[in-house]
Amino acid sequence: MKNVFIITLLSACLFSCTSPKSKQTTVWTDTYEQKWRYQLDGDMKALLPDDTKRADLIDYMITRLKTELPNGLESIPQDSLTRLARKIGVDYGFAHAKEAIAGETGLTPTLRPWTKEMETMFREAILSNNEGGDLAEKNKACDCFITELKKIYPDSVMLPFPAGVLTKVSAVCMEKLSVNK
């Protein structure tokens, strides 16, 4: 009985002494993290067949998710999780821009239908890459970029872009926007 009382008292002390931050991070146990690593790996296998590059992307995502969502993926609504995943994907893309330009992403090119979400993803990526400047001008650049991509890919867009597509679209938009000034 004395041992039970001591254990209970010790437990109460430990629980009362933990900081709110440590309570928040308890959801990211090894088991929880492994569950999401397995899920992401399965979801990405067809799109990113290179095991090393896929593991690098998953490491990046898990690290960011742990930072952004200390209470776990279930702690925010699905639409917020989708926006966060898009933001993490854009950030990863910019962090690996040299690979993308060289065509060495390891991603399997896939046609993705044009949707409002796809346009939003492109818009967010373009705006996040162009800090400063006039918002109206940035929005014109986004509109031009999406319009030009839709000329090349009217129904579905190829991701990742084949070599030269971004350069071509950027050049056309820069010319159009400089003429309209």
Domain-wise residue ranges, the chain:
25-105, 109-181
Band (pLDDT 50/70/90 cuts) for residue 140 is confident
DSSP assignment string, 66-98: HHH-TT-GGGS-HHHHHHHHHHHHHHHHHHTHH
Structure tokens at 80: 């917020």
**What pTM does this model have?**
0.57
Count other Cβ atoms within 10 Å, centred on residue 31. Answer: 7
pLDDT tens-digit readout, 56-99: 889 999 999 999 999 999 999 988 888 888 788 777 877 776 66
